[in-house]
Amino acid sequence: MFTQFHKENPMSNNANDIRTALARAVAQRQVPDDTIDKMASQIAGARFPIRKIDICTMGICIDYFLEGDQWWTKLPELINIEGGELQGIEIFPYGIPFPDLHHVRVIQRFGAVPGLGG
């Protein structure tokens, strides 16, 4: 479904265009309810604040901020994606100003989300 939208919109050549095309497909109910429900249960069940939902070449990304000196112990919970397929995880330490703050991006494959291409 997502790939189809991308093909129908040849100007969709940057990340913002792709995000908008995907937003339109979701809003206009062209992505099936069960796909939305799977994404919803993952997002709604997240025990850590979601900072952003994004897309990238690998799939749908959910960005979190983890704090504290035991931040890494929370990773298993983040990557346990029920009904989905983990494609990757990226960790960005914030560095000197916020030594205990880490931006963690969990990427789920498009193909693991029926209706979003892949």
Partner 1 sequence: MSKSGSSRAGFLPARVIQLHPSRFCNLACRHCYSASGPHLRGGLTATEVLSALEILQGEGYEVLSLSGGEPLLYAGFETVVRGAAELGFRVNLITNGAPVGGRLLDLIAHYINLIAISLDGAPPLHAELRGDKNAFVHAERAMDRLAATGVRYGLAYCVSRESLADMPWAVEFAQAQGAALVHFHPFAAVGRGRSMGERLSLSETDKARAYLVASLLQTDTAPGVQIDLAPIEAVRTEQEDYTLLGPAAAPDAPLSDLINPLVIDETGRLLPFCYGLNPEFAIGQIGPRLPAELERYKTSSLPTVQTLLNSAFAQLNVGNKQFIDWYYHLVETSYTVEQLQRLR
Interface residues toward partner 1, by CB under 8 A:
15-16, 19-20, 22-24, 26-29, 33, 36-37, 39-41, 43-50, 52-53, 55
Residue with smaller CB distance to partner 1, 34 or 100: 34
Q: How far apart are CA 7 and CA 76, in angstroms?
A: 36
Residue with smaller CB distance to partner 1, 7 or 52: 52
- Smallest separation, CB 1 to partner 1 (Å): 14
- Smallest separation, CB 116 to partner 1 (Å): 11
Residue with smaller CB distance to partner 1, 22 or 107: 22
Residue with smaller CB distance to partner 1, 78 or 96: 78
- Smallest separation, CB 88 to partner 1 (Å): 19
Measured over the CA atoms of residue 9, residue 11, residue 15 and residue 20, the dihedral's sign is negative
Query: What DSSP assignment string belongs to the chain?
Result: -HHHHHHH-TT--SHHHHHHHHHHHHHTT-S-HHHHHHHHHHHHT-SS-EEEEEEETTEEEEEEEEESTTGGGGHHHHH--TTS-EEEEEEEE--TTSTTEEEEEEEEEGGGSTTS--
- Smallest separation, CB 69 to partner 1 (Å): 19
